[in-house]
Structure 1
Amino acid sequence: MSHGVETGRITTDIPARMDRLPWSRWHWLVVLGLGTVWILDGLEVTIVGSMTDALADPKTGLGMSSFDVGLAGAMYVAGACAGALFFGQLTDRFGRKKLFLITLGVYTGATVLTAFSMTPLWYFVARFITGAGIGGEYAAINSAIDELIPAKYRGRVDVAINGSFWVGAAGGALLTIPLLDPTKVDQEWGWRLAFGLGAILAIGILIVRRTVPESPRWLFIHGREDEGEEIVRDIEQRVTSESGKDLPSVSDTITIRQRKTISLALIAKTVFTMYPKRTVLCFSLFVGQAFLYNAFFFTYGDTLIEFMDVKQTGYYIAVFAVSNFIGALFLGPLFDRIGRVKMLTGTYVLSGALLTYTGMTLDSYSAVSLTAMGCLIFFVASAGASAAYLTASEVFPMETRALCIAFFYAIGTAAGGIAGPLLFGKLIEDAVNGGEGISAIAVGYYIGGALMIAGGIVAAFLGVKAEGRSLESIAKPLTAEDDAEPTDDERRRSPQPA
C-alpha cells in the first residue's frame, strides 16, 4: 500500500495474544467503562417518548405538538448520523480512547443544555448536539470493544452491550413516573430533572472509562507498537494473577506496514470496491433495524396516549424495554454458537413478520395486549438489531473499522431513523385530527416489517461467518503484507509474553 505516511514495518503477535485470553475481571472493566453508554442512549430516547404531555403543555413544557415530538426525535437521529461520520473518521485517525472520552463529554454537555431548554428551537438544537455525541460513541465504542474482547466472546458481548440500551430505556421510563407526577414534582421542573440525572450518570461513566486503555491493535498499526506491547503485557499479568495459570503461547503473527494516517479515498475504496457484498449486507441490516426501532419506539408513548387514553406510559415502556434487553442477553450467545448468518436471518425475518401481522390486526389491541405483542416482537428484534453493529464492526479492515460503523449507522439511520419518527408522528397527528382509529398508522408497521424481512433475506445470502474468528482473519488489515518475511529486528520488536 502506498497510501498514508509509512513509519516502519513490524511483525506482531498482539492480535493472537488478545484473542487467546480467558474471560477475566479486566474484561468486565471494559464492558462497564465502554458498554454502559448505551444505557444513556436508552435513557435519552425514553425520556423524550414518555414526556409527550409535559412537553406539549405550554405552561409546564414547551408547547410541542405530536409532530414536534417526532421532529425532536428526527433531530436527535440526524445529530447522531452527523456525529458518527465526524467522530468516526477521527476515531480511526487519532485513536479509540481519545474519541470515546471526547464524545461522552459532548453528550454530557448537550444533555445539560437540553435540561435548560426555553423554546422548542433550543430543544431541537440541544437534541441534535446530544445525538452527535451518541453517534460518535457508537463508532468509537464498538470499534474499541471488538478490538479488546477475545474472539470467542466477541459476538455475545457485543450484542449484550448494544442491547443494554434497553436497561436505560426501562430506567428512563420508570424515572419519568415520579418526575412527571404533579403530586410529587412540579411539572415545570420534572422533565428538566430527568435530563439532568442523565448528565450525572454520564459523568460517573466518564470516571470509569478513563481507566480503559487504548486499543493495542490501533497502536501497533499507527507506529506505537511499544505502547501496545506494554498494554498487552499488563493485561496478561492481570489475567495470569487472577487465574493462577500460565497463558498458552501463540504462534500466529501478522506483518504490518505502519502508517500514521489512512486516506479517506482508500477507506471509500475498501468499502465499495473490495467488499461490495458486505457493504450491501450492512446497509440492509442498518436500514431495517433503524426504521423499526426509531419509528415504533420514538412515538410509542404518543400512540398509547392518543389512541388508548393511557395517562402514564412509563410502566408500559419499561416492560417493553425489559423484554428487549432480555432478548439481547438470552439470544446473544447463539450468535457465537449457532453462527452470525443463521441468527441474523432468523431474528430479522421473524420480527418483521410479527410486526406486519400486528399492523394487520391493530384495531383488536388494548394498551396491555399491544405492549405484550411489542415485547414478543422486540425480544427477537433486539438481538438482531444489536448484531447489525457487531457485523459492521468486524467485517471490514481495522484501519476503517470506526468509520465503517459510522458510515452504515449514518446512512441506515438517516434512511430509517429520520424518516421513521417523522412518518409516525405525522400518521398519529393526522389520525387524531381526522377522528380515525389506530389502524390509520398501520402503514408504518408494514414498512418496518418489510424492511426487517428484506434485511434478513440479504443476511441469508451475503452474511459473513465470523463467529470465533480473529478480526484479522475476517478482514485483513489494509497495511498487512501476505508474503513479506520478517527481519530479525522485526521479530525482536514483537516479543512473546513472559
Structure 2
Amino acid sequence: MRTSNASIEDAPLNPFHQRLTLAVGGASLMDGYILSIIGVALVQMTSQLQLSNFWQGMIATSALLGIFVGGLFSGWLTDRFGRRKVVFVAPCVFLIASVLQFWTDSPMVIFLLRFGIGLAIAIDYSAATSLFVEFVPKKYRGSRLAGFTILWFTGAAMAYIFGDIILHNSGEHGWRWALASPIIIGVFLLLSRLNTLESARWLITKNRATEAETIIQHVYGTNYSLANLPETSAQQKLSLRDMLRMGYGKRLAFVSIFWTCAVIPVFAVYAFAPKVLAALKLEGAWAAYGSVAITLLFVVGCIVGTQLIDVLGRRKMLIHSFLWSGLALLCLGTWADSSEMVVLVFFGAYALFIGGAQVLELVYPNEIFPTELRPYAMGWGVSASRIGAAIGTFLVPVSLDSIGIGNTMFIAAAVTFIGLVVAIAWAPETKAKDLAEAAALH
C-alpha cells in the first residue's frame, strides 16, 4: 500500500464531504426556520390565546433561552459522547416538539417546548460544526461554514414566506400549522445524518487510534493514515483550565462578544418584525413584502460574505461588516420617521452589510480553538450570544413603547459598534491556515 505524504487538510473534496455538508447545513436551515416562524405565528397566537405582553416576550425568547442553557453543557456532551451520537439529538427534538406545539393551548407548554428546541439547537451547534471542520479540508472549510449562515437566513425567509401562506389558508388554527411546519425539514435532517461517521480527531483524544485510522482511510482513501493528520504529532492532552490559563480565555471572550453583537439586532427584528416595521410606519403590503425583502437581503449579504471570506480574510471582513452595518442602523434611527422607501433602504443596507459578521459566527470558534476545546468554544459562544439576543428581544416591546423606534435603533447601532471595537482589538486572521495553525497561540 502506498502512503500519501499529503495532509488530509489538503485532500480533495469527495462525496463524503458533500453529504456531510448537506447533513450539517440542513441544521442551519432548520435553525433559521424554527426560530423565525415564531415571529409569524405570534400575532395570531396572541389573539387566539389572549397572551399578555409578558407571555409574548417569554414565548418569543424561549428558544433563545434554551440555546443559552444548552450552550453551557453542549461542549461537555459532545466531548463525552462524541460528535456522531450527539448530532441525532436535534432532529428528534425538532420533530417531537413541532408535533406537540400543534395540540397545546397553554402558553407555559409552548414556552417549554420551544425552550427544548433551543436546547437541541445549542447541542447541534457544538456537535455538528465540530464534526464538519474536523473532516473538511481547509480550502473549503471557511466558505462552507460561511455558507451555513446563508442557509440560516434562507430558512428564515422560508419561515416568513410559507408562514404567511399557512396563516392565510388555515383559518384560526393557522398559527398551530405554522409551528408544526418544521416537521418536514426535521425528517430530512434526520435522514441525512444516518450514515454520519465519528470524527477521527475526537477518537484520537479518546485513545481510539485504530478506529480513527479506519475512518481516515474510509473517507480519504487507503493511501492516507494517521500520519496525514496534522494535529497527531503535536497534540497534547490539555484540560479546559490549562487551555484558559494558556491564553484561550481572550479568544473565548472575542467569540462571545462579537457573536453577541452580531445577533442581538437580528433576533430582535425577527421576533417582533411586525411591531418593529409598524413602528417604522411600514404596514400592510409594505410590512409583508418588506419583511421578505429584508430577509432576502440578509441572504444576499451572507452570499457576498461567503465569496469574500477567502479574499478579504476573516479579520478585515468582520471589521468592515460591523462598521457599515452600524452606520446603517445609525441612519435608520436618525431618519426613522422618513418615507417607507427610505426606511427600507437603510434597513436593507443593515441586512446586507451585517452578512460578513454573520458568516463568521460559525467560522471563528471552529478555527481558533484546538480539538479538545472546539465544542466548548462553540457551546459557550452560542450560549453567550443567545442570552444577549434573548434579553434584547424581550426588551424590544418595552423599548418601542418607552423610548420609541428611533432610540431603539440607536441602541442597536451602539451594540454593533461594540462589536466593531472588539473586532479591531482582538480579531485574528486564520485565512488559509490548517486547524492546528489557526488554533495555535502566537
The two structures share one fold, judged by TM-score above 0.5: yes
Alignment-derived partner of residue 256 in structure 2 = 283
In 2, Cα distance between equivalents of 1:230 and 1:131 = 35
Q: Is 1:345 aligned to residue 319 of structure 2?
A: yes
Q: Is 1:357 aligned to residue 347 of structure 2?
A: no
Alignment-derived partner of residue 417 in structure 1 = 389
Does the 8 A contact of 2:157 with 2:292 survive in 1? yes
In 2, Cα distance between equivalents of 1:350 and 1:14 = 46
Higher helix share: 2
- Where structure 2 has 5 or more consecutive residues not aligned to the other structure, the ranges are none
Q: Partner letter of residue 282 of structure 1?
A: V
Q: Are residues 235 and 362 of structure 1, via their aligned partners in 2, closer, same or farther at CA, if it must alter by over 3 Å?
A: same
Q: Partner letter of residue 336 of structure 1?
A: D
The farther-off stretch of 313-322 and 226-235 is 313-322
Does the 8 A contact of 1:95 with 1:218 survive in 2? yes
In 1, Cα distance between equivalents of 2:240 and 2:236 = 16
Cα distance per residue 1:103-158 (max 9 Å; x no partner): 33223222222222211111111111111111111111221221122111211111
1:320-335 matches, cutoff 5 A: 320-335=294-309
Does the 8 A contact of 2:90 with 2:121 survive in 1? yes
Alignment-derived partner of residue 49 in structure 1 = 39
Alignment-derived partner of residue 56 in structure 2 = 69
Alignment-derived partner of residue 494 in structure 1 = none
Alignment-derived partner of residue 488 in structure 1 = none
Alignment-derived partner of residue 481 in structure 1 = none
Does the 8 A contact of 1:14 with 1:232 survive in 2? no
Cα offset, 1:311, TM superposition: 4.3
Cα offset, 1:195, TM superposition: 2.2
Alignment-derived partner of residue 255 in structure 1 = 233
Equivalent position to 2:434, from 458, 470, 475: 470
Cα offset, 1:421, TM superposition: 0.8
Equivalent position to 2:201, from 217, 221, 226: 217
Alignment-derived partner of residue 123 in structure 2 = 136
Q: Secondary structure at the match of 2:255?
A: helix
Q: Is 1:40 aligned to residue 30 of structure 2?
A: yes
Cα offset, 1:306, TM superposition: 5.9
Q: Is 1:392 aligned to residue 365 of structure 2?
A: yes
In 2, Cα distance between equivalents of 1:19 and 1:413 = 32
Does the 8 A contact of 1:170 with 1:321 survive in 2? yes
Q: Partner letter of residue 185 of structure 2?
A: L
The farther-off stretch of 63-72 and 281-290 is 63-72
In 2, Cα distance between equivalents of 1:162 and 1:197 = 21
- Where structure 1 has 5 or more consecutive residues not aligned to the other structure, the ranges are 1-12, 241-245, 432-438, 478-498
Q: Secondary structure at the match of 1:337?
A: coil
Q: Are residues 120 and 98 of structure 1, via their aligned partners in 2, closer, same or farther at CA, if it must alter by over 3 Å?
A: same
Q: Secondary structure at the match of 2:233?
A: strand
State the aligned residue count.
Answer: 437
The farther-off stretch of 370-379 and 161-170 is 370-379
TM-score by length of 1: 0.81
In 1, Cα distance between equivalents of 2:140 and 2:282 = 45
Alignment-derived partner of residue 274 in structure 1 = 247
In 2, Cα distance between equivalents of 1:309 and 1:395 = 42
Does the 8 A contact of 1:163 with 1:383 survive in 2? no
In 2, Cα distance between equivalents of 1:211 and 1:251 = 22
Q: Are residues 217 and 458 of structure 1, via their aligned partners in 2, closer, same or farther at CA, if it must alter by over 3 Å?
A: same
Cα distance per residue 1:288-309 (max 9 Å; x no partner): 0131212222211222346636
Equivalent position to 1:27, from 17, 26, 29: 17
In 2, Cα distance between equivalents of 1:386 and 1:15 = 33
Cα distance per residue 1:259-301 (max 9 Å; x no partner): 7xx7xxx314423652243133212202201312122222112
Q: Are residues 21 and 177 of structure 1, via their aligned partners in 2, closer, same or farther at CA, if it must alter by over 3 Å?
A: same
Alignment-derived partner of residue 67 in structure 2 = 80
Q: Are residues 318 and 67 of structure 1, via their aligned partners in 2, closer, same or farther at CA, if it must alter by over 3 Å?
A: farther
Q: Percent sequence identity over matched residues?
A: 24
1:127-166 matches, cutoff 5 A: 127-166=114-153
Equivalent position to 1:99, from 78, 86, 89: 86
1:156-305 matches, cutoff 5 A: 156-181=143-168, 184-188=169-173, 190-237=174-221, 254-255=232-233, 266-271=239-244, 273-305=246-278
Does the 8 A contact of 1:352 with 1:449 survive in 2? yes
Alignment-derived partner of residue 343 in structure 2 = 370
- Indicate the structure (1 or 2) with the bigger Cα radius of gyration: 1
Q: Which runs of 4+ in 1 moved over 4 A?
A: 13-16, 249-253, 256-259, 311-314
TM-score by length of 2: 0.91
RMSD across aligned positions (CA):
2.7
Q: Secondary structure at the match of 1:157?
A: helix
The farther-off stretch of 324-333 and 397-406 is 324-333
